Chain A
Amino acid sequence: MRFCKFVLLSLFLLPLTQSAGAQTEGLADFSDLPFLVSDYAGLEHLFQQKNDTTYIINFWATWCAPCVKELPYFEQLGQQYKGQKVKVILISLDFKKQIRTRLVKFLDKKKIQSQVVVLSQPNANEWIGKVDPSWSGSIPATLVYNRQKREFYEQEFYDFAELESIVKSFIKK
């Protein structure tokens, strides 16, 4: 009888767990990693925080050469403005099958200090325009915003000074 109950319960639960699994594409499988792997919905709040911090959110991937080249500027920014209300977040768009292999190794090797999260959602058409309506989806791309101002840069930065001058225009009194 108890066994029957178990089977019945399993039959009930099976479709539920399956549909949930299909929806999240197994992103929960990455929960052991030191950074968050999420679909857009799970990260949306990062683009809409209303406090007195200036957020510099860079979209990148280990396979994107210009992204990798400009990462040190974001790292330097985070270090230089430590203790100020400036927050750097690196959003990786690495392929799901390369998160465990390539991305983890890269972050370790480069000793990346900034906060890293991974955005993994196949149909990018559903979320790219929500980050910024002007964004076509090319990377590198960077969103800079605070409570007063919001700018989106679908471009790479060629040096630290270029990036810093933008951030300075956000934090000037």
Chain B
Amino acid sequence: MKKLLGLIALFALAAAFVIPTNGPGDGLKIGDKAPDFKLKHVDGNFYSLSQLQGQVKGYIIAFTCNTCPYAVMYEERLKQLHGKYADKGFPVIAINPNDPEVKPGDSFEAMQSTYKDKEFNFLYLYDEGQKVFPSYGATKTPHMFILDKSMTVQYIGAIDDNVENAKAVKNTYVEDAIEAIMVGAKPKVTETKAVGCSIKVKPVNRHLLKKKASPTTN
């Protein structure tokens, strides 16, 4: 019996070292099931992914904000995405992850003004307490996560490949991913990188952002 316990303890110890710990900072990968959340929309009502389940075929989740120039330059394109795909079962769900104490321009009240002034047609949710963005592994605004009907992550990254000039876009990454999911296929491009504004956290909350440093060898 002792032997068995010892063996179990040994296995547990080994497992602790072998199994990569999926801490809050590691974020979602393609194929992971995205965590549900319940966040406040600018109208004061709370929304969750699970309450949309059954009505939608997927989710276009956009971590974005009022203040980042990159986010601002993509506002129109987010509206267009929602306009084009919401009726087909893919609504845009925008989430502002910034700490308003660090970035006052991203307060809930400022979100309400932006929503009204820019005539957003999609949900604009407030990640109050900054619990959701670390669970997704978002690092910047804008940062897109496309989920299928079962809330499985199918695409992470940029909206398209040209922030400065919408007319010169060559790759519409998000649209391509949605079109693939719509026909039951896997997106061809599943991850892309783009420049963006770091998500604003207080120094004590720095651990919420993905990585501190990545030592690599030369």
Contacts and interface: CB of A to CB of B under 8 A. Distances in A.
State whether these chains interact: yes
B211 A140 contact: no
B162 interface: yes
A155 B212 contact: yes
Contact of A122 (B161, B206, B214): B161
Interface in A142-173: 145, 147-156, 158
A95 B164 contact: yes
Interface stretch (B49-57, B77-85, B177-185, B195-203): B195-203
Interface string A124-153: 110011001111111110000101111111
Contacts of A132: 214, 216
B195 A152 contact: no
Given A125-B194, A138-B199, A139-B195, A151 B165 contact: no
Interface string B162-188: 111100101100000000000000000
Nearest to B217: A150
A17 to B, nearest CB: 19
Contacts, number: 101
B132 interface: no
Contacts of B197: 64, 138-139
B216 A150 contact: yes
A84 interface: no
A21 to B, nearest CB: 13
A95 B68 CA distance: 13
B213 A151 contact: yes
B125 interface: no
B218 interface: yes
Nearest to B189: A125
B198 A125 contact: no
User: Chain B's interface: helix, strand, loop or mixed, by majority?
Assistant: loop
A124 B165 contact: no
Given A149-B218, A151-B216, A136 B210 contact: yes
A93 interface: yes
B96 interface: no
A151 B164 contact: no
Nearest to A119: B195
A7 to B, nearest CB: 31
Interface-central residue, A96, A122, A123, A136, by most chain B CB under 10 Å = A136
A152 B214 CA distance: 5
A154 B218 contact: no
Contacts of B170: 123
Given A63-B69, A123-B171, A155-B206, A137 B194 contact: yes
Interface in B152-166: 157-158, 161-165
B192 interface: yes
Contacts of A66: 198, 200
Nearest to B165: A122
A142 to B, nearest CB: 9
Query: What are the 8 A-B residue pairs with the smallest beta carbon separation, nearest first?
Result: A138-B140, A134-B214, A128-B193, A123-B161, A138-B198, A125-B192, A122-B162, A136-B139
Interface of B: 69, 103, 139-140, 143, 157-158, 161-165, 168, 170-171, 192-200, 203, 206, 209-218
Given A125-B171, A136-B143, 14 more contacts: A63-B69, A65-B103, A95-B164, A122-B164, A123-B171, A125-B161, A138-B139, A138-B198, A138-B199, A139-B196, A151-B216, A152-B213, A154-B209, A156-B198
6 contacts: A124-B158, A137-B158, A139-B198, A150-B217, A152-B213, A153-B212
